[in-house]
Amino acid sequence: MLQGARAATIAESNGRANMFLAAVSGGLVALGLVATASDLGAAFYGFGLVLLPTLAFVGLVTLERTLQTSIEDTEYARRIALLRTYYFEQAPEIAPYLLSVPPAEQLHTGRVPGDRWQGYRTVAGMVAVITAVLAGSTAALAAILIFDHSLAAAVISGAAVAVPVLIAMIRHQDLAWYRAAAEPLGPDEE
């Protein structure tokens, strides 16, 4: 049952990430078509300023749900580890029939403690990077209009939005993981 629940969380996370990537891909293709058709005119800027923030919003909600499902998956893995420990303690004679994992690795799922770059290697981290780029692109597109097509203003505005957005999303992810890891599961963890 727990393994089935784990499979469901992994499938949902992958499905949501795929839907997000498909939306971004389709949106950027559409933006390119509008750019070509309008010669980078008002239609391009109008479409871009509607599309990019919309995709960034979809990224935010995708980040949140993939983070939730990833934490759920880890919780299921922790429960499976607790059950395995119980089996080994209560019925040591079944040990040859079960995969034995050293205790130091039994609960080593999801995140690597102390690895500051781990957040970028998760599905939620990937979504965070793309979402930050979309938010920065929105700011850059707006800056191009505001500052009379200044490339410098676009780059500075885009970076000034994308970097803090990325840092905030990765920090949110890290805090969610720390909160989840601190919650006890069973009597031995309280």
**pTM of the shown model:** 0.81
User: Which three-class secondary structure string do you get for 141-158?
Assistant: HHHHHHCCCCHHHHHHHH
In this predicted structure, the answer to whether residue 22 has a pLDDT above a threshold of 50 is: yes
Cα–Cα distance, 155 to 28 (Å, whole number):
19
Q: Which residues contact 79 (CB under 8 A, 6 or more apart)?
A: 2, 185, 186
Which pLDDT score, from 0 to 100, does residue 187 have?
53
Q: Report pLDDT digits (tens) over 52-111.
A: 999 999 999 999 999 999 889 888 888 887 888 888 788 878 777 776 666 555 554 545
Phi, psi for residue 148 in degrees, rounded to 5 = 55, 55
- Dihedral sign (CA 114, 79, 190, 92): negative
Domain map (residue ranges) of the chain: 2-182
Would you state the pLDDT for residue 103? 58
Q: Does residue 190 carry a pLDDT above 50?
A: no
